[in-house]
Amino acid sequence: MNNSDILVIGAGVAGIEASLLLASTGKKVYLVEKASLTGGNVIKYEDVFSNMECSTCMIAPKQQEVLQSENIELLTLSTVEKVQGEIGDFTVTIKKKARYVSLIDCIGCGMCYEPCPVSLKNEFEQNLSEKKAIYVPCPGSLPNVPAIDPEYCLQLNGKKTCNACVEACAFGAINLSDKDEKIEIKVGAIIVASGFDIVEPAGFPQFGYGKYPNVYTAIEAERLYASNGPTEGEITLRKGNTPPQAIAIIQCVGREQQGYCSSVCCMYSLKLAHYLKHKLPDAKIYNFHSDWCMPGKYNQKFHQDVKEEGVDFIYSPVDKIKVEGNDKSLLIEYYNGKDEKEKLSADMVILSLAMMQGKDTASLSKLLGIEQDKRGFFMNQGIQLGSVDTSKPGIFLAGCAEGPKDIQGSITQAEAAVGKVMSYLS
Amino acid sequence: MSDRIGVYVCECGPNIADKVDIKKILTEISAFNEPPEKIIIAKKHKLLCSKEGQDFLADEIIKNELTHLVIAACSPRDHDITFMNVCKRTDLNPYLYKLVNIREHCAWIIPDKDEATEKAIQYIRAGISRVTYQDPLIEKELDSIPDVLVIGAGIAGIEASLSLAGENRKVYLVERTSSIGGKVTKFEKILPHQGTNLDIIQEKIKAVQENENIEIFTESEVEKAIGFFGNFEITLKNIHNDEQNNEFKVGAIVAATGFNLFNPEKIPRYGYGKIEDVYTSLEIEESNSKTGKILLKSGKPPKSVALIHCVGREERGYCSRVCCNYMFKIAQYLKEKMPDIKITEFYKDLCLPNKADQEFFVDTKNKGVNFIRFKDIAVKQKDKEKFIEYTKMDGKKEKISAEMIILAPAIEPAEGSKEIAELLNISLDETGFFQEAHQKLNPVATSIDGVFIVGTAQNPKNIPDSMMDAQAVGGKILTQLIPGEKLIPEVIVSEISEAFCTGCQTCLSVCSYGAIYFDEDRNISIVNEAICRGCGNCVASCPSGAAHAKHFTSTQIYQEVLEAIR
Ligand SMILES: Cc1cc2nc3c(=O)[nH]c(=O)nc-3n(C[C@H](O)[C@H](O)[C@H](O)COP(=O)(O)OP(=O)(O)OC[C@H]3O[C@@H](n4cnc5c(N)ncnc54)[C@H](O)[C@@H]3O)c2cc1C
Ligand code: SF4
Ligand code: SF4
Ligand code: SF4
Ligand code: SF4
Ligand code: SF4
């Protein structure tokens, strides 16, 4: 039995691209996304290198298309639990967590947030701001429909009776007795586009993340700059609440430990430097780099441009860099190109941390029956078949789930996965 | 039948209802007499986008025999498509409807209710005024040919052909040289960490040759390609025989014309072409795969080799992405063949973007290859001895001697890329490679629908990435050009009025889709509706006002604005 429906796991740029292409042929696509919104990591950035196009403006139309496509069934807050069968005939069990808000009835007016009495840390915003128990992660989230966190909602966790959001909603869109569901679907092929995560900064105590409040990860810096972010784009320090005056960006953090170069951090570090120069023209910006990894035709020019904007590039091996200081000021100890020890003070440090496999890679690989490579990413089948095939026919890879890459690389791989699916299933 | 306009205002729950006075809107709109007597009905509804709301609308259109529909609700980004679909359900032409955004433009941004109401009324009047000037537009269907032309039979072209060819789809594979396989057939090994060796490439070549749905034309070039997505007419010419032309039709074209190496002679300090035993990486690959040996001109094996990275990187303005890795590979060849050889790699940056690259570097280093990061470098000869003179990162100048020097020249677009681009009407970017439709979101497509670019013709890349491009084009074409299915081109296109066109051809120069052609006989420019995307460039640039965009005509816009500012 040849089933031509497709399961796509992960609704980042790669998963979205694959779903849209497949749906355009009339095939039914189940797009399973763990989070409450689509877009993956890319929607966290204000702009993308190296053309510096507005990130949300770039992918929102695609996210919108997913929501409007009749052939795509988007399952948010969902994960795959069980996969059986083989190419042409997979049976997949999906666990869909209750959202408590109807994707059909809610119009996204946002009237329900105010009245909710519970505030909690907003993980999407890297805990730089708070959200209510009923929330959308950030303005512009798509679908623009809130979800309720059952762990924190007073009614749902049983701590108190509360009905505030339900009362505030004029559309009857909130249903506090919504339940988790198990859904069983049948598909002919599966595309795994579950993306990446960032290595934990705690693994690198020498840079003082967690110890000194004004040491940030690159994603935190992205959110600080974003106009829909926790500070609406104002760059103010965690401690002190003032704009920073000297910022040090440290590249390649975790590269040695992970055993590979993440291939995008040079470029996004340049992007961050450019952002910061733009908003804080008087601030000093230092970039500590080792090799410049900027493959491809557009990237070096961007590097040149950022250099001309007055960013200080310092060649310094990352393994010899240390950050010390206190709540307010930081001291970076490093070795310069002449291998001499130097010191430099700054009030903000940004760490360009290595990308690593998505947190669910191991469990997904087990339940899908596909292999991981020794770095932890999903394993491709090498030069014979190319980078989208897995060890199991009918299951393909797309985007950073297969290895670190930029947006165009992720899109290309998604299209390649679709190419494979189409030639197997048609 | 005279026009019968229906106007429907959505309350959007409290979103609009609480912030503007809908009752007042309905009274004023009903009394709006411009155009006279045409507003048949003005009503409100609590949520028009809901299923119930859509059914209500469909019902209203039919019941009231509406010829035009105006909806005052939210942003077209949210629900334009929803309401267009309602129109389609009822046989009302969807281009005779207008969505007026009174939520984001009025209710949500103006705190004063009276003011918001006034603005909403003005906007709705503008919408009504526009809608009566709108024309019904009809979607057309075009037959399409599923077959594909692939230009260039390197690894990208081969993989593209294999991804595309099938029972219902023929691939024409055109190659300039006398054999297929391209540059990779000159390599002894494909980077070891990418798996295996050349056999796999040979297998692919064989698979192409044996595939009955792939027709190969070697020693041939494309002479003409005219048409549009789904329907290109192709003329091939044989390079050696002018008589031998081939003509056929395809639905899509894939340009896989590959790369050339930067000529190191352009930078005299590398000594290439002047100093003996200075080679390019490709020359070493070729000699190694032909003879299995890497020898000096004298026929002796080298005792010391210097590998120099990034030759021409500064001049070209980009990093070529693959050379670091293949230089490690060459170092490993040398070490395998001559374990005692002294190898020094001079690099600027280590560009190791693939997940397996760094390991390969570490492995190469562990095999005893010496790596030196340099600022400046030159190859010098004194008497019989050759030297590398270099400045290190700390500014120190040093030199070492080497018997053989191998350069990694930058990857450039292949010769003739410019001509291919002109032939296919696609653009080159500032670096001379083919330009993609969108740098981030659409890397294998071009501004011309149905023309795709893959492999190093688009950007320097390695074999797996070139294959990935080729498979991606498979994804694009297999989903867009389905045998037996018709294509529906854009409906909102431009047209040029013959009576006004003076034949100045300004529009031709601004159309980035190549949608306009010039009719010499009639001395006018003509828009090919199958290609036009309705961007409006021609409209804005035409000095005689001959070009106009359907659904965005000057009259429509003028009438809308006039009413909005009245
Ligand atoms: C700080 C930073 C800045 C960057 N800036 C740029 C830039 O400017 N330009 C650029 O080209 N690239 C940039 N990149 C790289 C870019 O983020 C990636 O190329 C891109 O996000 C990859 O898309 P993806 O779809 O593969 O993965 P992701 O964006 O990670 O999306 C994966 C999706 O899968 C979901 N998911 C994960 N596990 C599961 C599961 N088990 N079940 C269901 N769903 C699951 C996730 O929730 C997520 O929505 C940057 C990276 C970083 C770290
Ligand atoms: S029911 Fe829960 S989510 Fe709703 S307002 Fe109360 S605490 Fe917040
Ligand atoms: S749940 Fe109700 S109140 Fe909340 S955003 Fe949706 S429609 Fe508005
Ligand atoms: S991309 Fe740049 S910053 Fe990231 S690991 Fe590679 S060399 Fe280091
Ligand atoms: S890949 Fe390496 S050798 Fe080639 S240009 Fe880039 S940095 Fe230089
Ligand atoms: S509207 Fe744009 S695409 Fe169409 S003919 Fe004019 S310039 Fe070309």
CATH number at residue B379: 3.50.50.60
Whether A109 maps to a domain, the answer reads no
Is residue B338 domain-shared with residue B383, that is, in the same domain?
yes
Is residue B226 domain-shared with residue B185, that is, in the same domain?
yes
Is residue A212 domain-shared with residue A313, that is, in the same domain?
yes
* Cβ <8 Å between A386 and B49: no
Q: What is the A226 CA–ligand 1 centroid distance (Å)?
A: 17
Spatial separation of the C-alpha atoms in residues B361 and B324, rounded to whole Å = 9
CB pairs under 8 A between A and B: 206
Whether B142 maps to a domain, the answer reads no
Spatial separation of the C-alpha atoms in residues A297 and B321, rounded to whole Å = 9
Whether B170 maps to a domain, the answer reads yes
**pLDDT tens-digit profile, chain B (566 residues):** 688 999 999 999 888 999 999 999 999 998 887 666 788 899 999 999 988 999 999 999 999 999 999 999 999 988 999 999 999 999 999 999 999 999 999 999 999 999 999 999 999 999 999 999 999 999 999 999 999 999 999 999 999 999 999 999 999 999 999 888 877 777 766 665 554 557 888 899 999 999 999 999 999 999 999 999 999 999 999 998 877 789 999 999 999 999 999 999 999 999 999 999 999 999 998 888 888 899 999 999 999 999 999 999 999 999 999 999 999 999 999 999 999 999 999 999 999 999 999 999 999 999 999 999 999 999 999 988 999 999 998 899 999 999 999 999 999 999 899 999 999 999 999 999 999 999 999 999 999 999 999 999 999 999 999 999 999 999 999 999 999 999 998 999 999 999 999 999 999 999 988 899 999 999 999 999 989 999 999 999 999 999 999 999 999 999 999 999 88
The three-point CA angle A54-A20-A15 to 5° equals: 70
Cβ of B351 closer than 6 Å to ligand 5, yes or no, is yes
Is residue B305 domain-shared with residue B365, that is, in the same domain?
yes
Is residue A212 domain-shared with residue A301, that is, in the same domain?
yes
CATH of the domain at B109: 3.40.50.960
With left for phi above 0 and alpha for psi between -120 and 50, is residue A160 left, alpha or beta? beta
Q: What is the B529 CA–ligand 6 centroid distance (Å)?
A: 9
Tell me the shortest Cα–Cα distance from B46 to chain A, in angstroms. Answer: 10
Tokens of B545: 């006002």
Is residue B20 domain-shared with residue B128, that is, in the same domain?
yes
CA distances from B445 to A13, A411, A412, B451, B476 (A): 17, 12, 10, 6, 8
Chain B residues with CB inside 8 Å of A301's CB?
A: 317-318, 430
CA A12, B445, B455, B247 torsion-angle sign:
positive
Task: Please name the residue that has the structure tokens 């390599």.
Answer: B187
Is residue A296 domain-shared with residue A208, that is, in the same domain?
yes
Whether B488 maps to a domain, the answer reads no
CA distances from B486 to B171, B483, B530 (A): 19, 8, 12
Is residue B251 domain-shared with residue B162, that is, in the same domain?
yes
Is residue B114 domain-shared with residue B190, that is, in the same domain?
no
For residue A126, what pLDDT is reported?
95
Rg over CA atoms, chain A: 23
Whether A107 maps to a domain, the answer reads no
| Nearest partner of B326 among B217, B418, B159, B188, judged by Cα | B188
Spatial separation of the C-alpha atoms in residues A129 and A383, rounded to whole Å = 45
Residues in chain B: 566
Tokens of A125: 């915003």
Cβ of A261 closer than 6 Å to ligand 4, yes or no, is yes
Cβ of B313 closer than 6 Å to ligand 5, yes or no, is yes
Is residue B315 domain-shared with residue B270, that is, in the same domain?
yes
Cβ of A280 closer than 6 Å to ligand 4, yes or no, is no
Is residue A336 domain-shared with residue A382, that is, in the same domain?
no
Is residue A294 domain-shared with residue A396, that is, in the same domain?
no
Query: Would you call A16 helix, strand, or coil by DSSP?
Result: helix
In chain A, the residue whose alpha carbon lies closest to the alpha carbon of B486 is A25
* Cβ <8 Å between A386 and B195: no
Is residue B420 domain-shared with residue B380, that is, in the same domain?
no
Is residue A208 domain-shared with residue A349, that is, in the same domain?
yes
Strands B397-401 and B385-392 turn out to be antiparallel
Whether A161 maps to a domain, the answer reads no
The answer to whether the peptide bond before residue B525 is cis (omega within 30 degrees of 0) is no
Chain B residues with CB inside 8 Å of A411's CB?
A: 440-443
In the predicted model, residues of chain A with pLDDT beneath 70 are 1, 426
Chain B residues with CB inside 8 Å of A25's CB?
A: 479, 482
Please name the helix (run of DSSP H) or strand (run of DSSP E) that holds residue B290, with its range, or none: helix B281-291
Domain boundary among B72, B104, B137: B137
Q: What one-letter code names the amino acid at A320?
A: K
The answer to whether the peptide bond before residue B268 is cis (omega within 30 degrees of 0) is no
A124 burial type by CB count under 10 A (0-12 exposed, 13-18 middle, 19+ buried): buried
Spatial separation of the C-alpha atoms in residues A188 and A425, rounded to whole Å = 7
Query: Would you call B558 helix, strand, or coil by DSSP?
Result: helix
Cβ of A262 closer than 6 Å to ligand 4, yes or no, is yes
Chain A residues with CB inside 8 Å of B166's CB?
A: 423, 426
Spatial separation of the C-alpha atoms in residues A153 and B485, rounded to whole Å = 51
Whether A145 maps to a domain, the answer reads no
Domain boundary among A354, A385, A416: A354
| Nearest partner of A356 among A217, A216, A266, A260, judged by Cα | A260
Whether A382 maps to a domain, the answer reads yes
Is residue B389 domain-shared with residue B437, that is, in the same domain?
no
Is residue A18 domain-shared with residue A61, that is, in the same domain?
yes
Domain boundary among B137, B168, B199: B137
Contact A196/A218 with Cβ under 8 angstroms? no
Is residue A333 domain-shared with residue A387, that is, in the same domain?
no
Spatial separation of the C-alpha atoms in residues A46 and A52, rounded to whole Å = 9
In chain A, the residue whose alpha carbon lies closest to the alpha carbon of B53 is A105
Is residue A205 domain-shared with residue A250, that is, in the same domain?
yes
Chain B residues with CB inside 8 Å of A416's CB?
A: 468-469, 471-472, 474-475
How many domains does chain B fold into?
Answer: 4
Whether B486 maps to a domain, the answer reads no
Domain boundary among A335, A354, A373: A354
Task: Please name the residue that has the structure tokens 């990413």.
Answer: A377
Is residue B250 domain-shared with residue B316, that is, in the same domain?
no
Whether A260 maps to a domain, the answer reads yes
How many domains does chain A fold into?
Answer: 2
Contact A94/A170 with Cβ under 8 angstroms? no
- Parent domain of A65: 6-97+180-195+358-425
* Cβ <8 Å between A24 and B479: yes
Is residue A349 domain-shared with residue A369, that is, in the same domain?
no
CA B533, B536, B542, B545 torsion-angle sign:
positive
Whether B233 maps to a domain, the answer reads yes
Spatial separation of the C-alpha atoms in residues A70 and B488, rounded to whole Å = 18
Please name the helix (run of DSSP H) or strand (run of DSSP E) that holds residue B389, with its range, or none: strand B385-392
Whether A105 maps to a domain, the answer reads no
Tell me the shortest Cα–Cα distance from A60 to chain B, in angstroms. Answer: 10
List pLDDT tens digits, range B243-268: 778 999 999 999 999 999 999 999 99
Whether A131 maps to a domain, the answer reads no
CATH of the domain at B524: 3.30.70.20
Residue B172 phi/psi, 5-degree rounding, is -100, 115
Is residue B380 domain-shared with residue B300, that is, in the same domain?
yes
Whether B556 maps to a domain, the answer reads no
Domain boundary among A334, A354, A374: A354
Is residue B418 domain-shared with residue B405, that is, in the same domain?
no
Q: What is the A398 CA–ligand 4 centroid distance (Å)?
A: 21
Spatial separation of the C-alpha atoms in residues B514 and B503, rounded to whole Å = 16
Residue-wise DSSP of B18-49: TTS-HHHHHHHHHH--SSTT-EEEEEEES-TT
| Nearest partner of A294 among B345, B432, B318, B309, judged by Cα | B318
Whether B40 maps to a domain, the answer reads yes
Spatial separation of the C-alpha atoms in residues B384 and A215, rounded to whole Å = 57
CATH of the domain at A381: 3.50.50.60
Nearest to B359 among A25, A105, A259 (CB): A259
For residue A278, what pLDDT is reported?
93
> Integer distance in angstroms from the first to the last C-alpha of chain B?
29
- Parent domain of B521: 494-550
Residue-wise DSSP of A304-373: HHHHHTT-EEEE--GGG-EEEE-SS-EEEEEE-TTS-EEEEEESEEEEEEPEEE-TTHHHHHHHHT--B-
Is residue A347 domain-shared with residue A421, that is, in the same domain?
no
Q: A45, A297, A426: which to substitute to probe chain B, counting the most B Cβ within 10 Å?
A: A297
Whether B363 maps to a domain, the answer reads yes
CA B261, B262, B268, B269 torsion-angle sign:
negative
* Cβ <8 Å between A387 and B350: no
Is residue A284 domain-shared with residue A404, that is, in the same domain?
no
| Nearest partner of B302 among B389, B377, B406, judged by Cα | B406
Contact B470/B157 with Cβ under 8 angstroms? yes
ipTM: 0.95
Contact B69/B62 with Cβ under 8 angstroms? no
Tell me the shortest Cα–Cα distance from B211 to chain A, in angstroms. Answer: 15
Domain boundary among B137, B169, B201: B137
